[in-house]
Each structure stands twice: as C-alpha cells, then as structure tokens.
Amino acid sequence: MGWNKENLGPETRKAFARRKHEGFFEKFFGSIVLDVGYRGYEEIDVVPVLPDAIGIDLNYPGYDGKVLPFLDESVDTVYTSHTLEHIDDPIAAIRDWFRVLKVGGYLVITVPHQFLYEKKQELPSRWNLDHKRFYTPRSLIGEVESALLVNSYRIVHLVEDDEFYDYTIPPELHAGGAYQIEMVIKKIDQPSWGLVANGDGRVGREEVATAFKEIVQELAGVSILIGDAGSKVDQLKMELSDFVDGVD
C-alpha cells in the first residue's frame, strides 16, 4: 500500500495541513524519522507521519515496547502522537526516544490536552480507559524535565493545538477538532559544566522570589507626588539588580 495522508492516524491527520502550511516538517523532520506508536488502535493500513518515516509499533522487529532497536544518536527525528498517555513509565519512554536522537535532532511529542479532550479533573478518562494520566503543558514539561539531563535539550516548540475545536460541545460529549499539546524538544550538545550549588554564597531561587515580592510591594507604595520618588525608585532598581545577578 502506498503512502496517503488520508491513511494517517486520526490525530496526525488533523494536524497535517497546518503543519505543512507552517513548514513544521521542513523545520523539525530530518532524513531518518521514527513514528513511534503510529498505528494505535487503528486498522493495519494506517501509515507513518511521512512517506519515508519508519513506523514503529509492537510488531516491529526487535521492539519490546520499551527500548527502541536503534543505536544511540542514530535518528534525526522521533515523532510520537497520542502514545505517551498509554505508557506506564513515561519517564523511561522519553529517555529512550531521546537516546536514539542525534545531537541537533528533534523529539516531537503530542498528547491529548486535559482541558480540551478529557474536560474533567481526574482519571479515569471519559473517552479512553487505557489513558494512564492526563496532560497539561505544565505536566508534560515536568515529565521532560524529570526524564532528561539539564542542558541536554531545549524545548523549541510548545503549542496548545485547538484548531477547529468546538468550544460549544459540553463535557459529556466528545470534543470536535484538535485537542492536543504539541511539543518539540531539540537535543543539544551538553556543556561540560553543571549547575552551581547554593553553597557558594549565590542567592537561591526562593530567596530571589521573596526579594522580588518585597521590592514590588515597596515600589507600589512610592508616590510620584513625593519629591524624592525618582531617587527611591532608582535605589530599589539597584537592589533588584543585585538579586538578579546572584540568582542560580
């Protein structure tokens, strides 16, 4: 069977025209592309995201559903659509997808948006009982930060995709249109240095947050009718600058 966009998985198909128009494929998809979990629950004639992409599912030779049968840093792009929410250990999955990426390669992850797809607070999913967790942009970023080493990656694209979403549909009915979070992570050359510990006398983030609050409150009390207001503001700016210079 030849490649046809009409045979893409449903969520990938929804986003295809937008991505093509935006130059998404040219920007984030290299020569060697893996589409992990591309078939989902669909029939066998589902095709990967692009004609030359390698479709990976549980029937792929050597794949056990946990460790991709590819060498470290051998792939340009790993694409996975609405797969992560089905996986018991998302941290391990993200690490393995990232492992096979070349430096400069991209990991493209999409997941259903809790507020658009689920439209409820807690599990179980109203629409798919196999969903292990709900996702917001914040929770997806949290999993990425837990999975990957500091400064080994950059999040270069994050979109709450609601194209053609019908906000008039109530929670008890399935959503229409797109209802996903779309994230792209770039693998970078990790620097030789690590983060500095607070023990060197530099100011930690909590201390900076407290200082910001105090300075903002003081600024709020400065009246422009007071003759020395300008000098007072300048003094507070200097104090704020000192704290910013000391943050980790």
pLDDT in tens, 61-70: 999 999 999 9
pLDDT score, position 26: 98
Question: Domain residue spans in the chain?
Answer: 5-187, 198-245
Full-model pTM: 0.78
For residues 92 and 144, give the distance between their C-alpha atoms in angstroms, rounded to a whole number.
10
Instruction: Please write down the long-range contacts of 238-242, taking CB distance under 8 Å and 24 or more positions apart.
Output: 239/211, 239/215, 240/211, 240/212, 240/215
Task: Going residue by residue through the chain, which has 248 residues, state the pLDDT in tens, using 9 for 90 and above.
Answer: 678 888 999 999 999 999 999 999 999 999 999 999 998 765 678 999 999 999 999 999 999 999 999 999 999 999 999 999 999 999 999 999 999 999 999 999 999 999 999 999 999 999 999 999 999 999 999 999 999 999 999 999 999 999 999 999 999 999 999 999 999 999 999 999 888 877 655 545 666 566 666 666 665 554 444 344 455 556 655 655 555 555 55
Q: Does domain 5-187 have CATH number 3.40.50.150?
A: yes
List the structure tokens of 125.
């999913």
Q: Which residues contact 21 (CB under 8 A, 6 or more apart)?
A: none
Q: Which residues pair with 153 in a beta bridge?
A: 187
Q: Which residues contact 106 (CB under 8 A, 6 or more apart)?
A: 28, 29, 30, 76, 77, 78, 156, 184, 185, 186, 187
For residues 91 and 86, give the distance between their C-alpha atoms in angstroms, rounded to a whole number.
12
pLDDT score, position 40: 75
For residues 128 and 44, give the distance between their C-alpha atoms in angstroms, rounded to a whole number.
20
What percentage of the chain has pLDDT greater than the value 70?
Answer: 78
